[in-house]
Amino acid sequence: MKEKHIGLGNDNTTPEEWATNVHRDTYNSLINHSGLLEYLSLAKNESKFDAKLQLLKKFSSPIENESVSSLKNDRKRTIPE
């Protein structure tokens, strides 16, 4: 399964890399599915162009540190060492 879906990572994938892949996959899906983009733009009360531009900026920037630190904390609780 992991060979077919590269975004899942492998044994050497760090939590930061995995979280970045998930965020970018989500942004890509929102950008390329017009119905999702329209829903997002309506919810934010902005144009589809502005919503798409904002998602593209998020796509190209690194993820926030809070989401990675919470991911590490969750991982420590669920995986015994």
Divide the 81 residues of the chain into consecutive groups of 10 and give the mean pLDDT of each group: 67 83 88 93 94 90 62 54 43
- Tell me whether residue 10 is in a domain: yes
- Tell me whether residue 25 is in a domain: yes
Q: Looking at residue 52, what is its pLDDT?
A: 93
Q: Looking at residue 81, what is its pLDDT?
A: 43
Global model pTM greater than 0.85: no
- Tell me whether residue 76 is in a domain: no
Range of the domain at 45: 6-71
User: What is the total count of domains within the chain?
Assistant: 1
Residue 72 half-sphere exposure, CB side, CA atoms within 13 Å? 7
Q: Looking at residue 64, what is its pLDDT?
A: 65
- Tell me whether residue 77 is in a domain: no
- Tell me whether residue 29 is in a domain: yes
User: Secondary structure of the chain in the HEC alphabet?
Assistant: CCCCCHHHCCCCCCHHHHHHHHHHHHHHHHHHCHHHHHHHHHHHCCCHHHHHHHHHHHHHCCCCHHHHHHHHHHHHHHCCC
- Tell me whether residue 80 is in a domain: no
